Amino acid sequence: MKKSIKGLCLLMVAGLPLTTMAADDDSAEITVNASVVADCSLVVSKNTVNFNNLHNHSGIVLNGQADSVTVTTTCNGTQGVLTIDADNADGKAMLLTKSGGNETFEVGVKIGDTDANFESNKISKNVTSGSVATQILFTPTTAQDPVPGNYSGRLSLKIEPK
């Protein structure tokens, strides 16, 4: 009798996968996944703005002509956020730092027709889907008394899908 029970258990265990497989042979499921990512990029018309031969005339900066850079953002299928991050900025101006010193030179910044509003050295601007050109206008502030020397500062630009 022991041999019969062992044989019956062996047949039951061996037959279990076959009956389970046989029951599933009449249907199946396939899962299909897709991941669509937003795509944004940017291009600048030039990487350097130079203000040469500025003159400090009793606290008034002379010969400070405005200059601009065009930032073209492209976001396919989504809106984007353009982030402008300055090394040093205050309100509507970026502050250039004198080489080898702590003195600053103020340059006013406009984004399109609007004065910049730097908060913690950053500005964020929403851009629409597609290709959008945004002008950044730089103008040396005339009412300042800078120490003669070379000054520099940097803006970092980044575009991200919204």
Beta-bridge partner residues of 85: 122, 156
- Taking a C-beta distance cutoff of 8 angstroms, is the pair 146, 56 a contact? yes
Percent of the chain with pLDDT over 90: 64
C-alpha dist (Å) from residue 152 to 39, 63, 101, 111: 32, 18, 11, 20
Name the residue with higher pLDDT: 2 or 120.
120
Superfamily (CATH) of domain 39-161: Fimbrial-type adhesion domain (2.60.40.1090)
pLDDT, residue 8, reads 46
Q: Comparing C-alpha atoms, which of 151, 132, 123, 160 is closest to residue 49?
A: 151
> What whole-number distance in Å separates Cα of residue 154 and Cα of residue 100?
16
pLDDT tens-digit series, residues 59-118: 778 766 899 999 999 999 899 999 999 999 999 999 999 999 889 999 999 999 999 999
pTM of the model: 0.76
Domains of the chain, by residue range, sit at 39-161
